[in-house]
Amino acid sequence: MAALGARMGMTINFKPTRAAAQARLAEFLPAAGAYAAERNFVRPGNDHVARLSPWLQKRLLLESEVVAAARARWTFPAVEKFVQEVYWRTYWKGWLEQRPAAWTRWTEAVPRRRDGLRGERRSAWEAACAGRTGIAGFDDWARELVATGYLHNHARMWFASIWIFTLRLPWELGAAFFFEHLLDGDAASNTLSWRWVAGLQTAGKTYVARADNIAHYTEGRCAPAAGQLAPAAFAITEEPLLKVAAWTEAGSWSAAAGGAGERVGLWLHAEDLAVEIGELAGENVASVNAVWPTGIAGRAGWGESVAGWTRAALGDGATRAGAHFGVVVMGGATDDLAAELVEWAKTQGLRRVVAYRPFVGPWLDEGLAAERALGAAGVALTWRRRAWDTELFPHAGRGYFPFWERVKAAG
């Protein structure tokens, strides 16, 4: 593993703090102008790409901050490609909010697909996850993912394509393997990217990894034999996904937290860990609850490193939130978050709890259970949205390029 580690750059260190995110952003900015030319290369350490995704996914660092920093350092044409990639995250999030069935369908399929693997298929799946397929590159990326919690975008695309079209394994299980190990694992970016490679996201468009493309962009480090990879895709089909627009209609999301003199508590979760900046920062918060729900990792399918990293990130967000609002933060862990929040609201005499609404995914399930329990106890839960999401998500209903045109038109 040491030789592989050196070759694949396994020294990557994602410290789960906002300070570490800011340091990495500052370190990357001088290279952001070369991103368009360099981004497709996969190199040990991958210093030529931002490597900011674990922090962005938890909002330890905001998309708006990354875009502003890149645009302040460079002219727009010099960083357009980089900025465009940051907006891909927003696009996928907005798309999934409008078609949440893409998420539920995937979560329901994973155990079914896993149980359905028999004999050779099961062995092929185990070999793929362990990096023992004999396919150059693929095996390295499987191990790199498990060891570091990160993969370069191009390696993710090749990996997913080989998983689906060469190894003929269910795409849902590939997405689950990523979600178990990626520190940036995101319900929208992960599920929808796998769907995109599989040809489900954009009708008629699949992504087929080619041996010469892999050899070129890994600068010869990974060179699968041409005959090792499937030369073409096959069709995967599904029932159409229903589009919903409920989130755009919930006006309370941008409402103020409560009336004057009302005691308001803040629920902090790991999908927005910079509450001291933006919409919630001005609230008169009497108490913060950042208790870790112990069951979330099992329900989400996160491995130990992902769970540990996420919990540590929550701790970092909690420390900053406590300092910002000047209150003591409830920490620790519980096996029933909803009951914990009700108890906390009672003890603290809270009339209302405010939180950023988690996006479609594991934290939303926690949030909705908490909303029901708090409501039953007579405590209102006010969901808020960042303006970034409120403004951009409605444009994510179709393809990326109309979305990007809207972003550019808004300046």
Residues lying near ligand FAD in the complex (CB under 6 A):
39, 49-53, 56-57, 85-86, 88-89, 92, 152-153, 156-157, 160, 178, 182, 184-186, 189-190, 193-194, 197
> What CA–CA distance (Å, rounded) separates 181 from 184?
9
- CA contacts within 13 A on the Cβ side of 351: 8
Closer to ligand FAD by Cβ: residue 80 or 85 = 85
Nearest approach, Cβ of residue 52 and ligand FAD (Å): 4
Closer to ligand FAD by Cβ: residue 82 or 383 = 82
Nearest approach, Cβ of residue 56 and ligand FAD (Å): 4
Nearest approach, Cβ of residue 61 and ligand FAD (Å): 9
Closer to ligand FAD by Cβ: residue 15 or 351 = 15
> What CA–CA distance (Å, rounded) separates 343 from 298?
24
Nearest approach, Cβ of residue 183 and ligand FAD (Å): 9
Nearest approach, Cβ of residue 72 and ligand FAD (Å): 16
Closer to ligand FAD by Cβ: residue 209 or 337 = 209
Helix (H, G, I), strand (E, B) or coil at 286: strand
> What CA–CA distance (Å, rounded) separates 197 from 184?
19
Closer to ligand FAD by Cβ: residue 50 or 173 = 50
Closer to ligand FAD by Cβ: residue 186 or 371 = 186
3-state helix/strand/coil string of the chain: CHHHHHHHCCCCCCCCCHHHHHHHHHHHHHHHHHHHHHCCCCCCCCCCCCCCHHHHHCCCCCHHHHHHHHHHHCCHHHHHHHHHHHHHHHHHHHHHHHCCHHHHHHHHHHHHHHHCCCHHHHHHHHHHHHCCCCCCCHHHHHHHHHHHCCCCHHHHHHHHHHHHHHCCCCHHHHHHHHHHHCCCCCHHHHHHHHHHHHCCCCCCCCCCCCHHHHHHHCCCCCCCCHHHCCCCCCCCCCCCCCCCCHHHHCHHHHCCCCCCCCCEEEECCCCCCCCCCCCCCCCCEEEEECCEECCHHHHHCCCHHHHHHHHHHHHHHHHHHHHHHCCCEECCEECCHHHHHHHHHHHHCCCEEEEECCCCCHHHHHHHHHHHHHHHCCCEEEEECCHHHHHHHHHHHCCHHHHHHHHHHCC
- The phi-psi region of residue 4 (left if phi > 0; otherwise alpha if psi is between -120 and 50; otherwise beta) is alpha
Closer to ligand FAD by Cβ: residue 195 or 269 = 195
Nearest approach, Cβ of residue 281 and ligand FAD (Å): 22
Nearest approach, Cβ of residue 264 and ligand FAD (Å): 31
> What CA–CA distance (Å, rounded) separates 48 from 134?
28
Closer to ligand FAD by Cβ: residue 57 or 148 = 57
Closer to ligand FAD by Cβ: residue 53 or 133 = 53
Nearest approach, Cβ of residue 167 and ligand FAD (Å): 14
Closer to ligand FAD by Cβ: residue 52 or 211 = 52
Nearest approach, Cβ of residue 91 and ligand FAD (Å): 8
Nearest approach, Cβ of residue 380 and ligand FAD (Å): 32
